[in-house]
Amino acid sequence: MFSAYRTSVYSIASTASRRVYHHSVRSMKASVDGPTATGSASKIVAETATKESSSSSWAKENPFLFQLGVATVKTSAADLVAQTVAERKSLNEVDWKRNAIFVVFGFAYLGGFQYWLMVNKYRQWFPTMDRFAKLSFADKLKDTAGILDAMKMVVFDVTVHLPLIYFPTYYTVKEFVGGHSWNPLDWAKDGVSKYINNASEDLTAMIKLWGPSDCIQFVLPVHIRLPFRHIVSFFWTSYVSFTRGAIEDDTAAKPEPIKEE
């Protein structure tokens, strides 16, 4: 009986030992492989975060160049969308001369002049701009001076910048690219004349979009403001391209005057 008992004990001990051994091996393997896998995953996440942080920091450190590229590409792309989607043109039918209007306008005006106006000059005219932009939303609500300056920026944009600078410049650039004269005075005269004819419709559409958009733009951090404006401007430019982008043929045949007999 003792022999049977001893055999039973040995059997149980042997089974337990094997289980402990296998469990230990699995634990050791996990301890070796686990950190490696975890380390690899952590490394990938860290590298991705670093790349994203690097891109973000570059945009923050080079706001002018960043938004200049966005403005140029966006404006050209918006015109292409208007031509291929709204007007249902094939790529072979795209009016590249018309697209050039938006490339020039996007680069020189939206990317260049608009940055100078809304960042450099606004800093001088609205002294709370930078401080207000850095505040949290809750703190912005308590900053009366900052709110007043933001409201002034909105009013200036929709009553001075867009109607008196933006639209005349766009129509002038359009004449520069699509007109037949090499005289800058003719570009300005013809462009402003066409703007005056379309002013009622253009300004109504402008105030409907840019009024609400400006209320958001001028409370954002400074380095995000123009990229945000360019995003909104993509849809605005598509509208302008669709309604005002076509180059009129000024040399088209005109009805001949009635000859007197």
Residues 51, 56: Cα–Cα separation, whole Å = 9
pLDDT in tens, the chain (261 residues): 434 434 443 454 455 445 544 544 454 444 445 444 445 545 554 555 455 556 667 777 888 898 899 899 999 999 999 999 988 999 899 999 999 999 999 999 999 999 999 999 999 999 999 999 999 999 999 999 999 999 999 999 999 999 999 999 999 998 888 878 888 899 999 999 999 999 999 999 999 999 999 999 999 988 888 889 989 999 998 888 888 877 665 544 444 444 433
Contact between residue 115 and residue 67 where contact means Cβ atoms under 8 Å apart: yes
- Write the DSSP symbol of residue 137: H
pTM of the model: 0.69
Return d(Cα 28, Cα 24) in angstroms, integer.
6
